[in-house]
Structures are given as structure tokens and as C-alpha cells.
Amino acid sequence: MKRISQTQGVRSVLLPRNYRQEQIFRARHPEWFEDNRTFIPPKALDGLNLLWFSDLVVSGGGTMNREAAALGVPVYSIFRGKTGKVDRMLEQEGRLVMIHSPEEIWTKIPFVRREKPQWLDNKPRAALQDIINHIEDIIKIEQVRSSKQR
């Protein structure tokens, strides 16, 4: 957030966990909110649309990171715990960048506008295609099992 608040032309959407955390952020870091550089939505947003229209995502890990990677949005994880298998796979595929130190926030995260259509295309996404393939495999296995039981 320090880097965002110090970089001209960059705006962010900050999603605190709750109202109390929002109040703490606003009290401790008023510079984040100068010139409307940081926006905290007043109510819940559609997360996939927020990700889709973002230029990049920096998050503590979990679902939003994986959804961003599935949509092809550059995503940077600042998660400090044990890295899960899915995140390691996404990192190996170059669809997620793990940030391991505060210094890497300044060196690994480029603030670059991402070209994106105004609507979702029908292009298959790698994660979605993996899920579809897995479901199709399960269906084939079940079809074989049921034909053997007849």
C-alpha cells in the first residue's frame, strides 16, 4: 500500500476483512486515501468482475488469487504460511507470483495497465479447462463402472 500511495496514476481497491479493520487502516494510513487513490467499497462487490476489470491483484492468498489466475489477471501472493499445491502449480505455470519479502514488492510487481475487453470472451481458461477435463474423466470412469455392473 505504501508503494501504491507513492506511485502517480495508480489507484487501488482495498478489501478490509471488516469495518473495524477499515477504520484502523484509515486512522493509521490517511496517505493511502489521499486524492482517492484507495477505494474501499461500501458494500460487497461481485468478486469475479472486480478481478476481471483489475490490472493486477495483490492478495494474501486463497480464492481470489486462484480466481485471478484462472481469469488470466496478473496475481501476486503475499501469503506467509505454507504454500499449497495449487498455488505452487500456478507459480510454476507463471500464472501467480509469490512475494517472499517486502523488497520484492518493489521489484517483482509491475504497475502496468492490462489490456482487457469490456466483456468476457469465450476463450477457455486453463484452470476451468482442468476442472472440465477432471469432470469428464469422472463421468467416463462412472460410465465404465456402470456398464460392468450390468
Domains along the chain with CATH numbers: 45-118 (3.40.50.2000)
pLDDT at site 33: 94
What is d(CA 42, CA 6) in angstroms, rounded to the nearest whole number? 24
What is d(CA 95, CA 84) in angstroms, rounded to the nearest whole number? 15
Q: How high is the mean pLDDT in each 10-residue block of the chain (150 residues)? A: 89 93 96 93 88 91 88 91 86 91 91 77 68 85 85
- Is the entire prediction scored with pTM above 0.75? no
pLDDT at site 54: 92
pLDDT at site 121: 60
pLDDT at site 125: 65
CA distances (Å), origin 81, targets 7, 16, 42, 60, 150: 29, 19, 30, 10, 49
